[in-house]
Amino acid sequence: MPNLAILDLGTNTFHLLIADENGKFLLDEKQPVKIGQAGIESGLISDAGYERARLCFQDYKVKWEQFGVKEPVVIATSAFRSAKNGIEIAEKLNQEFRINIQIIDGNKEADYIFNGVINAVKTSESILIVDIGGGSVEFLIAEGEEIKWKKSFEIGGQRLIERFHFIDPFPQTSFKPFVHFLSESLEELDQVLEKYPTDILVGSSGAFDTIVDIIYAQQNKVLSSEIASVEIDIPEFQSILIDLWFKNREERLKVPGMTPLRVDMIVVACLLIQFLIGKYQFSTLINSKYALKEGVLYSILAKK
């Protein structure tokens, strides 16, 4: 079997993962395309967002062809499925780059995320998995290799930024409306966690990766690329949140471990994580380095 290329077209980030027939990662890249910027709340992908997507595909196409991949697997999520012109934009990219973009629903997205997470976090205990994307946030209750409940909510980081973090630093007047919005949006989670109680929160990739990077930078440590999951000390996370909360974008960029890719979304993502920890009293916080693209890869390999 030849090498495989998986593209995950997120609302903020486009990911490219290339692996060999045994699942060994050969290339793992991401670019801040921000296809949902300045349009996601109004339900449109802007011309500027489309142009950034084109430039990213030009770069990625060279790379997947270098690894001998003829037909990459391309998955698009929240921004494409919720935008009025999402299908139209996907078709234009399909024609130019001779690909087949699959726009998946929230349930399928959650399935792929779960498949990625269980290959990184090995536990038989009940856990709540959270994937904070730019357009949507996926929640799953899992026990071992079984999904007990899953749902995708259109409350992703880019949506939260446009609604609450419209100036820097995060405006204090936005905090109460932010909490109220999450309480209303995630009301179903109250009942689900009563039925399937757990004190373990597992965050997949994205902002959780950045939190780990900041913690390791503070401790002058280097995280091995071989490690697929990391437990995050909750007081350390909360200390990082308080520090980032009152910084503007330029100041956040100077924080050791921060990347330009995550600097815009990190505050609303951390506030969402803290909301979950505080409301549902999680005592363990784990970062899964694997998410959707790894889940797609392992699904393909399992079929092969």
Q: Enumerate the domain spans of the chain.
A: 4-104, 122-292
Please check whether the two domains, 4-104 and 122-292, share a CATH topology.
yes
> pLDDT digit string (tens) for 234-285?
999 999 999 999 999 999 999 999 999 999 999 999 999 999 999 999 999 9
The hierarchical CATH code for the domain 4-104 is: 3.30.420.40
**Tokens of residue 29, six digits:** 């890249």
- Give the model confidence (pLDDT) of 147-204 as tens digits: 999 999 999 999 999 999 999 999 999 999 999 999 999 999 999 999 999 999 999 9
- Sorting pLDDT into bands at 50, 70 and 90, what band is 304? confident
Asked if the peptide bond before residue 256 counts as cis, ω within 30 degrees of 0, the response is no
Q: What are phi and psi of 155, to 5 degrees?
A: -130, 35
What is the Cα–Cα distance from 193 to 128, expressed in whole angstroms? 9
pLDDT: is 249 or 304 the higher one? Answer: 249
Q: What is the pTM of this model?
A: 0.95
CATH 3.40.1190.20 fits 122-292, yes or no: no
The band of 230, judged by pLDDT with boundaries at 50, 70 and 90, is: very high
Token digits of residue 180? 């109220």
CB 45 within 8 A of CB 35: yes
